[in-house]
Amino acid sequence: MSDTVLLERRDRVALLTLNRPEALNALNTELLTTLSAHVAELAEDQEIGCIVITGSQKAFAAGADIKEMRDKGYIEMLMSDFFGRYGAISACRTPILAAVSGYALGGGCELAMMCDAIYASDTAKFGQPEIRLGVIPGMGGSQRLTRAVGKAKAMDMILTGRMMDAEEAERCELVARIFPADTLLDEVMKIAETIAGYSRPSVFAAKEAVNRSFEVSLSEGLHYEHRVFYPLFATEDQKEGMTAFVEKRKPDFRHR
Ligand code: CAA
């Protein structure tokens, strides 16, 4: 696979590092195809319990590759479904965390939002600057940013093209937590190891249930939660988790 994305396995966590430093990790077709292929493969890997996507200190990703897009026409964009081809990331049942330092702009912000949680360094800058280029967000920004931060803030970001810093991003709930830039990746890898140490059926169920809340009404969502909660009582890991609590020891989950 292309070296525009580097894959490293650390025990049960897979680290994917975007690697186009000369273009601030701009997301060209080669990079997005490689990233999707890695995620699709890792999603099938029983040894991997959590995936982390990161970039460099300067840029998580400065957006879709403007140089690649500039001369494209409508029919080419439509027929190739230019940004609709990367469903592997949101389809992945294994949790994916984004560790964001520096710029996460346009497609970079959208890629981070495809992940299950965004952890930012204090240097992170988020934005959807597509309006400055005569277009709009095309990898989910108009939908995911609005769900994350609400209409007023999403309109403000998308209509002005301004950037927000990490503190503002945490305040408006785009970001789960902020860490100093030099410890961000270590901290996110620790979070990923924690998740990867839990019972996989409960991790899948938790991710599915939270994601479901974005699709359905509250009553349907609550009903759905019960439907995925009860079957966990058919797993050995539910017995192990609760028994370990009662016996005051660490659980030894079988289906990690
Ligand atoms: N596409 C292609 N190349 C990019 C790029 C992008 N999105 N972002 C940066 N680069 C390239 C620059 O062209 C430059 O290359 P050269 O050295 O060959 O000129 C290199 O990366 C370094 O960038 P800068 O010199 O611009 O670095 P800077 O520190 O002065 O500025 C920046 C950093 C503010 C992030 C600036 O690069 C920038 O504004 N980038 C574009 C951000 C943007 O508009 N993103 C949205 C893209 S459209 C999109 O994403 C559509 C969608 O919804 C899917």
Q: Is 43 a catalytic residue?
A: no
User: What's the gap in Å between 57 CA and the centre of ligand 1?
Assistant: 15
User: What's the gap in Å between 22 CA and the centre of ligand 1?
Assistant: 10
153-174: b or e for each residue (b if 16 or more CB lie within 10 Å)?
Answer: bbeebbeeeebbebebbbebeb
User: Which pLDDT belongs to residue 56?
Assistant: 98
Residue of 98, 127, 130, 170 marked active site: 130
Residue of 61, 64, 169, 206 marked active site: 64
Are 221 and 205 within one domain?
Answer: yes
User: What's the gap in Å between 63 CA and the centre of ligand 1?
Assistant: 7
pLDDT at 86 over 90: no
User: Which pLDDT belongs to residue 85?
Assistant: 85
- Residue range 81-104: mean pLDDT, rounded: 94
Residue of 49, 63, 102, 107 marked active site: 107
In a domain, 187, yes or no: yes
Q: Is 124 a catalytic residue?
A: no
What is the domain-level CATH number for residue 122? Answer: 3.90.226.10
- Residue range 197-211: mean pLDDT, rounded: 97
Per-residue pLDDT band for 20 (boundaries 50, 70, 90) equals: very high
Are 218 and 150 within one domain?
Answer: no
Whole domain around residue 162: which residue ranges?
5-196
pLDDT (tens digit, 9 = 90+) per residue, 40-57? 999 999 999 999 999 999
Q: Is the pTM of this model over 0.90?
A: yes
Per-residue pLDDT band for 162 (boundaries 50, 70, 90) equals: very high
User: Which pLDDT belongs to residue 154?
Assistant: 98
Are 159 and 90 within one domain?
Answer: yes
CA distance 59 to 196: 26
- What are the pocket residues of ligand 1 if the criterion is a CB atom closer than 6 Å to any ligand atom? 23-24, 26, 62-67, 83, 103, 105-107, 110, 129-130, 133, 137-139, 141
Domain boundary among 174, 196, 218: 196
Are 207 and 82 within one domain?
Answer: no
Domain boundary among 159, 180, 196: 196
Are 79 and 187 within one domain?
Answer: yes
What sections of 55-183 are H helices per DSSP?
A: 66-69, 74-80, 88-91, 107-114, 141-149, 151-160, 166-171
Per-residue pLDDT band for 1 (boundaries 50, 70, 90) equals: confident
In a domain, 253, yes or no: no
Average pLDDT over the chain reads 97
Per-residue pLDDT band for 175 (boundaries 50, 70, 90) equals: very high
pLDDT (tens digit, 9 = 90+) per residue, 224-235? 999 999 999 999
User: Which pLDDT belongs to residue 149?
Assistant: 98
Q: Is 130 a catalytic residue?
A: yes
Per-residue pLDDT band for 147 (boundaries 50, 70, 90) equals: very high
Per-residue pLDDT band for 172 (boundaries 50, 70, 90) equals: very high
Are 111 and 143 within 8 A, CB to CB?
A: no
In a domain, 254, yes or no: no
Are 180 and 65 within one domain?
Answer: yes
User: Which pLDDT belongs to residue 251?
Assistant: 97
Share of the chain above pLDDT 90, in %: 98
- Residue range 139-165: mean pLDDT, rounded: 98
Q: Ligand 1, residue 128: give the atom nearest the CA.
A: 46
Are 162 and 241 within one domain?
Answer: no
User: Which pLDDT belongs to residue 49?
Assistant: 97
| Number of domains, the chain | 2
Q: Is 64 a catalytic residue?
A: yes
